Amino acid sequence: MLPRSRPARHWIVGDVHGCADSLQRLLQLLPADDRVVLCGDVINRGPQIQRAMDLAWSLVRSGRAVWLQGNHEAELVADLEREDGSGHDRLAGCDTYRQLGDPLCRLWRLRLSALPQVLQGRGWLATHAGFDPHSWQPDLQVRHRFWHAYDGRYGQVVVGHTPGKHLRQYGEGAIVLVDTGACYGGRLSAYCPETGQVLQVSGQGPRQLPQLPPALPPAMRDQLAALQRQPPVAQLQPFLG
């Protein structure tokens, strides 16, 4: 009798934001038979947006990965679909639009609009930002309102969207934040909800960093600035919160 193979695990990857080199290195460290969950915001900010998108889509086509829609993908789709011209100024300031150009962005529009917003696992769920605490529908922009209101109804919820120096948890581990600021010189992180392990590689170097969004709270801006002082890393470790 042949031995049973272990069940496939999942690795939920924080916001790639155009850091294709980091994503490539991270994939090389992940077990080939485990599934990858890209937690949204593969696009914008970083210097290798088209390559990151192509790499992500190749993983989806091969069946190895699920690419969840983030607020950046949703906003690009919405701006491309505006017929009254109101999205023109926003597109002009969009890193993805500038790097790919209008024709290629419009070819990507249908793919990005069809990305799922949620992936359900056994005892866990992945989405980009969280859920509206009134309707409990996916919300691609929410932060504190969800963190403070979450009642555990979906099990452990793993999200990106909010960068920080480390993986963070709220509600005694009921919410795990996996965006560790790869495009700001931090790390690109993958979290395994089945084992609690974390795999990390270094993000983009300081010379490639985009400007910090002006809308970020001061405390978050300080955290992201501190990411640049971290040494390069490629390691597997337990997540201790």
pLDDT tens digits, 143-187: 999 999 999 999 999 999 999 999 999 998 999 999 999 999 999
Ranges assigned E (strand) in the chain: 10-13, 35-38, 65-67, 118-120, 124-127, 156-159, 168-170, 175-177, 187-191, 197-202, 234-238
Residue 27 maps to a domain: yes
pLDDT grade, residue 87 (50/70/90)? low
Q: Domain limits at 184? A: 10-238
| pLDDT, tens digit (0-9, with 9 covering 90-100), for 17-69 | 999 999 999 999 999 999 999 999 999 999 999 999 999 999 999 999 999 99
Residue 3 maps to a domain: no
Cβ neighbours around 49 below 10 Å, total: 24
Phi, psi (rounded to 5 degrees) for 207:
-70, -15
Structure token pair of residue 221: 């801006």
- Structurally, the chain folds into a number of domains equal to 1
Distance CA(36)–CA(225), nearest Å, equals: 28
pTM: 0.85
The whole-chain average pLDDT of the chain stands at: 87
pLDDT grade, residue 239 (50/70/90)? very low
Residue 181 maps to a domain: yes
Burial of residue 33, with CB atoms counted within 10 A of its CB: 0-12 exposed, 13-18 middle, 19 or more buried: exposed
Residue 86 maps to a domain: yes
Residue 143 maps to a domain: yes
Residue 5 maps to a domain: no
* CATH number of the domain that residue 60 is part of: 3.60.21.10
What percentage of the chain has pLDDT greater than the value 90? 75
